[in-house]
């Protein structure tokens, strides 16, 4: 596990960010750019309150994962994905790949905001 996150606003979700061994090693060692073979997965679920937990705490304060929304992947292959900073992107819903070209064309340009600081990756290793 690399980290967790909560997006409010329209996304309103809870997220887990996971990495394969190559990605996690690069995080631990502080290696940038990430080496080829690094894979980062971002899982997300609807952000829902838990009446069961709230009852125990005696007030509304507990939020847990609801239905899954989508899973996104960043895969590092500096040759194959040379046009997008060495990263290939993918999104899955209900276990199936989303093949929308319009959607896929949004990933790299937005991730480019952190191209120079963290090799196109937003998530920091959870302290
Ligand atoms: C509008 C900007 C934007 C777009 C478009 C976007 N992302 Fe991201 N992405 C982010 C931000 C900001 C984070 C970190 C916060 C979070 O988890 O929401 C992130 C996190 C991720 C992560 C976790 C690793 C990391 O870089 O932090 C993956 C994997 C990811 N995005 C894949 C994708 C894929 C695949 C697409 C296209 C389908 C995409 N993203 C589109 C902004 C964007």
What tokens appear for 53 in the block? 């937990």
Q: Based on the number of CB atoms within 10 Å of its own CB, is 82 exposed (0-12), middle (13-18) or buried (19 or more)?
A: exposed
Name residues contacting ligand 1 (CB within 6 A).
Answer: 5, 7, 15, 17, 40, 42, 72-74, 89-91, 103-104, 106-107, 110-111, 121-123
The ligand 1 atom nearest the CA atom of 121: 26
Q: Where are the domains of the chain?
A: 3-118
Q: What is the pLDDT of residue 95?
A: 94
Nearest residue by C-alpha to atom 14 in ligand 1: 122
CATH of domain 3-118: 3.50.70.20
Helices of type H across the chain = 21-29, 51-57, 101-111, 115-118
Q: What is the pLDDT of residue 39?
A: 99
Q: What are the CA-CA distances from residue 114 to residues 14, 33, 92, 121 (Å)?
A: 22, 12, 23, 6
Over its length of 127 residues, how does the chain's per-residue pLDDT go in tens digits? 999 999 999 999 999 999 999 999 999 999 999 999 999 999 999 999 999 999 999 999 999 999 999 999 999 999 999 999 999 999 999 999 999 999 999 999 999 999 999 999 999 999 9
Q: How far is CA 55 from the centre of its chain?
A: 32
Nearest residue by C-alpha to atom 41 in ligand 1: 107
What tokens appear for 31 in the block? 């290696």
């Amino acid at each position: 596990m690399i980290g967790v996150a909560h997006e409010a606003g329209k996304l309103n979700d809870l997220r887990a960010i996971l990495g394969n061994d190559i990605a996690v090693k690069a995080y631990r060692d502080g290696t940038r750019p990430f080496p080829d073979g690094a894979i980062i997965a971002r899982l997300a679920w609807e952000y829902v309150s838990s009446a069961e937990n709230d009852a125990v705490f005696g007030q509304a304060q507990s939020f847990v994962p609801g239905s899954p929304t989508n899973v996104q992947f960043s895969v590092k292959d500096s040759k194959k994905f040379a046009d997008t900073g060495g990263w290939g992107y993918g999104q899955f819903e209900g276990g199936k790949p989303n093949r929308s070209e319009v959607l896929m064309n949004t990933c790299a340009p937005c991730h480019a905001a952190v191209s120079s600081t963290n090799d196109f990756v937003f998530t920091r290793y959870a302290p």
